Amino acid sequence: MSTFALLGFGEKGWGFALLAGAWMTLLVSLVGMIIGAAFGALVAWAKLSGHVVAGAVGDAYAAIFRGVPELLIVYFVYFGSSGVLTALANAFGVEGFVGVPAFAAGALAVGALSGAYQAEVFRGAFLAIQRGELEAARSVGMGRWLMFRRIVAPQVLRFAIPGLGNLWQVALKDSSLISVAGLSELMRTAQVGAGSTHQPFTFYIAGGALYLVLTALSNQVFNAAEARATRGLRRAAA
Amino acid sequence: MDFAFLTDTFLRLMAALPLTLEVWALSVAFGALIGAGVTWMRVSGNRALAAIACAYVFVFRGSPLLVQLFVIYYGLSSFPAVRASVFWPFLRDPFYCAVLSLALCTAAYQSEIFRGALAALPFGQIEAGKACGMSRWTLFRRVVFPIALRQALPAYSTEVISMTKATALVSLVTLWDMMSVATKIRNDTAIVYEPLLIAGAIYFVVNAIIARGFSALEWRLTPHLRGRPA
């Protein structure tokens, strides 16, 4: 079978399977990124709050998730959360091993990893807000929540876009590690294809090329987002 | 808590640490060489060379290391021409494949760090060097390299630490590094947390030591930024 037919969309082609894998990679990275944003915002808040204990917990979380191999985190989250779920299920009378769905475990692992880095991005973005703007908001009588919604959140998002763009690329690549948990994302699909057709080179190159497409496209999206988010800033500077 | 099991696990993991460190050190070193070459191509002023360097960085930074590792280890060996070539004794060995793959990947990141450091060189310093009549090589050795080294150090330490973490992937190409041993213990005993926690702690300590080493080096190399002793 020619490479073209092998990777094509015909009856025996792997084209659709690989595209479905790429779609799954996108989904799991996206959910992971959102979980990471929640973790990251919490840790950034803990560090900025000035609470000694909260800050120390935030620091410890960031240090651990940055200092330990990503693969180990994926194993730990996957097998670890299944262990917890099994224990819970057994306590409620369900017998045997209960596995956490690979998608959930994978998104959680990517999210926990990404959160450790997103915390720094958010913290930096918050510190980049002009103090005068916060003072102005307070002096016109805005409450904490209103100030967060109108002044802090929009600017943090704006300043965080470049950093988040980098972390999105990292999340896309880290999601390939979830293949060890059997989730049929792009890496896993390439592996299955390589195994069943005995054409590892073709399939890993095709998988790699699809990852490149994903990263290149998302680069464009983030550049556009940055241009849009900073359109007000540019006009002010000109 | 079964202390005998914990000690045994710790010792078995520590026995695999040398291989992890060997892969790490070799790939960082070769990565620096390749990365320096890529940076040189990028700043050479030759359009074609610069385009190749750009493409190299795009490909190796844009795709997961796992894919690169599998292309080299599983992919290349599927070609009869590769198996017949003089490189086969190396490419059949997962150790060399792992080092090659990690080195090629980190080279892309390292070359970006080198490029950033070169871009941050103050123009006046180079001009001053030329004005004193320094040759290209002397200029590089006395002015460019020391300044760029200092500039690159913080980002470089991050990259080097991310390489320790990346070595865990070599467990997926049948090498007996720490990660493989942790997985093996988990498979044999069905004990999930302890082997992973101990392995994680060892990686963490190794990374902390590397980070310390780099900050000590940075401190040594920046005497001009230190406050005067009180």
Domains present along chain B, CATH in parentheses: 3-225 (1.10.3720.10)
Question: What are the pLDDT digits (tens) for A17-64?
Answer: 999 999 999 999 999 999 999 999 999 999 988 889 999 999 999 999
Q: What angle do CA B59, B63, B68 make, to 5 degrees?
A: 90
pLDDT at position A57 is: 92
Predicted pLDDT of residue A92: 85
Taken in order B79, B85, B90, B96, the sign of the CA dihedral is negative
DSSP state string for B162-220: HHHHHGGGGGGGT---HHHHHHHHHHHH---HHHHHHHHHHHHHHHHHHHHHHHHHHHH
Q: Which pLDDT does position A238 carry in this prediction?
A: 43
Neighbours of B36 (CB within 10 A): 14
Q: If you measure CA to CA, which chain A residue comes closest to B200?
A: A68
Cβ contact A177–B66 (<8 Å): yes
Angstroms from B193 CA to nearest CA on chain A: 7
Predicted structure pTM score: 0.89
**With an 8 Å Cβ cutoff, is A189 touching chain B?**
no
Q: Domain residues of chain A, as ranges? A: 3-237
Nearest to B208 among A67, A200, A211 (CB): A67
Interface touch A204/B70, C-beta < 8 Å: yes
Contact A44, A122 (CB under 8 A): yes
pLDDT tens string for chain A (238 positions)? 677 778 877 777 888 999 999 999 999 999 999 999 999 999 999 998 888 999 999 999 999 999 999 999 999 999 888 888 888 888 888 777 777 889 999 999 999 999 999 999 999 999 999 889 999 999 999 999 999 999 999 999 889 999 999 999 999 999 999 999 889 999 999 999 999 998 999 999 999 999 999 999 999 999 999 888 888 775 554 4
Q: Residue A236's pLDDT is what?
A: 52
Give the pLDDT confidence score for residue B38 in this predicted structure.
Answer: 96
Kindly determine whether residue A69 and residue B165, on different chains, have CB atoms separated by under 8 Å: yes
**Does the distance separating the beta carbons of A215 and B62 come in below 8 Å?**
yes
Residue B191 to chain A, least CA–CA distance (Å): 10
B66 min Cα distance to partner chain A (Å): 7
Among B59, B167, B179, select the one facing A212 at the smallest CB separation. Answer: B59
The answer to whether the Cβ–Cβ distance between A83 and B179 falls below 8 Å is no
Burial of A65 (0-12, 13-18, 19+ CB in 10 A): buried
Q: CA A177, CA A30: separation in Å to the nearest integer?
A: 15
ipTM confidence:
0.89
The pLDDT value recorded for residue B230 is 59
- The CATH code for residues A3-237 is 1.10.3720.10
Contact flag A83-B193 (C-beta cutoff 8 Å)? yes
Query: Which pair of tokens denotes residue B24?
Result: 């790490």
Chain A to chain B Cβ contacts (< 8 Å): 113
| Distance in Å, alpha carbon of A165 to nearest chain B alpha carbon | 13
Please tell me which residue of chain A has the smallest CA distance to B69: A204
Contact A75 B183 (CB under 8 A): yes
Residue of B nearest to A60 (CA): B204
Q: What is the pLDDT of residue B184?
A: 93
Mean pLDDT, residues B116-130:
90
Q: In chain B, which residues have their Cβ closer than 8 Å to the Cβ of A83? A: 192-193
For residue B120, what pLDDT band results from cuts at 50, 70 and 90?
Answer: confident
Q: Is the pLDDT of residue B186 over 70?
A: yes
By three-state DSSP, how is residue B222 classified?
Answer: coil
Terminal-to-terminal C-alpha distance of chain B: 51
pLDDT at A235: 56
Would you call A180 an interface residue with chain B, using a CB distance cutoff of 8 Å?
yes
Nearest to A208 among B71, B164, B183 (CB): B71
Question: Which tens digits make up the pLDDT trace of B36-86?
Answer: 999 999 998 899 999 999 999 999 999 999 999 999 999 998 888 888 888
